[in-house]
Amino acid sequence: MRDKIEKIVIETLKELNEELEKDELENPTLKTRLYGGVGALDSLALVSFIADLEDRISDEFEKDLVLADEKAMSAKTSPFRSVESLVLYVESLLGV
């Protein structure tokens, strides 16, 4: 299941990068930094990425998720800091 989530996250990032054209997002891996500090996404790109990712997860798993809820936004360590942290966060929300 984690591999499937990872694939969805990476594909969504690659699609977003067609617009952003950021070198660090051309071949994203689990270690790719997404947001905060040296992350590749600014706040506007993060919102777009989250919306696209929610749609893809809904289509793939037939379950609607809200990734940017109060819990995620107030977490001490953001689930949006890297691909790996986001994959783990999505997995926890799906309850798998």
DSSP 6-60: HHHHHHHHHHHHHHH--GGGSS--TT-B-BSTT-SB-HHHHHHHHHHHHHHHHHH
* For the chain, domain boundaries: 2-94
Say yes or no to pLDDT of 6 above 90: yes
pLDDT tens readout for residues 58-95: 999 999 999 988 888 777 889 999 999 999 999 999 98
Say yes or no to pLDDT of 96 above 80: no
CATH 1.10.10.10 is the classification of domain 2-94 = no
pLDDT tens readout for residues 25-54: 999 999 999 998 889 999 999 999 999 999
The pTM for the full model equals 0.92
In percent, the amount of the chain with pLDDT more than 90 equals 83
